[in-house]
């Protein structure tokens, strides 16, 4: 399990693109990077997962540079409903997910 570091909080306005960067300097060769989203009083929800380069789905994009020591979750044109805590995890072949403190994203109108 690689330790991850991400900003404690970020603020944005509706319609803006938000990029949340996660550092995982000791990521192992077989680790994948996964991002989860959590709204208050709800369970975490999978957003996106990747190994390298770029992954895009209907919700977000994930950018992973060649050295894989960091990754960036990109949320295009955020809305108020994107206000949540976002968790970055780096792991492989493990029987548990270990959540850090995450990044609390606040979107303002």
Partner 1 sequence: EPEVTQTPSHQVTQMGQEVILRCVPISNHLYFYWYRQILGQKVEFLVSFYNNEISEKSEIFDDQFSVERPDGSNFTLKIRSTKLEDSAMYFCASREGYVNTEAFFGQGTRLTVV
Return residues touching partner 1 (CB under 8 A): 32, 34, 38, 41-46, 49, 87, 92-93, 95-102
Among residues 13 and 46, whose Cβ is nearest to partner 1?
A: 46
**Encoded tokens for 98:** 């270990």
**Encoded tokens for 38:** 């959590």
Q: How far is the CB of 43 from partner 1 (least distance, A)?
A: 3
Residue-wise over 68-86: b if at least 16 C-beta within 10 A, else e?
A: bebbbbbbeebeeebbbbb
Q: How far is the CB of 77 from partner 1 (least distance, A)?
A: 24
Among residues 18 and 87, whose Cβ is nearest to partner 1?
A: 87
Nearest to 73 by CA among 51, 88, 90: 88
Among residues 49 and 61, whose Cβ is nearest to partner 1?
A: 49
Among residues 16 and 104, whose Cβ is nearest to partner 1?
A: 104
Q: How far is the CB of 95 from partner 1 (least distance, A)?
A: 5
Give the three-class secondary structure for 82.
helix
Q: Given the structure tokens 């548990």, which residue do they identify?
A: 96
């Amino acid at each position: 399990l690689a330790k991850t570091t991400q900003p404690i909080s970020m603020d944005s306005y509706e319609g803006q693109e938000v990029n949340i960067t996660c550092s995982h300097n000791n990521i192992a060769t077989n680790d994948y990077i996964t991002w989860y989203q959590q709204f208050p009083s709800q369970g975490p929800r999978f957003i996106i997962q990747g190994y390298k380069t770029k992954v895009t789905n209907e919700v977000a994009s994930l950018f992973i540079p060649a050295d894989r020591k960091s990754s960036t979750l990109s949320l295009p044109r955020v809305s108020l409903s994107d206000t949540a805590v976002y968790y970055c995890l780096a792991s492989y072949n493990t029987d548990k997910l270990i959540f850090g403190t995450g990044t609390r994203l606040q979107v303002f109108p």
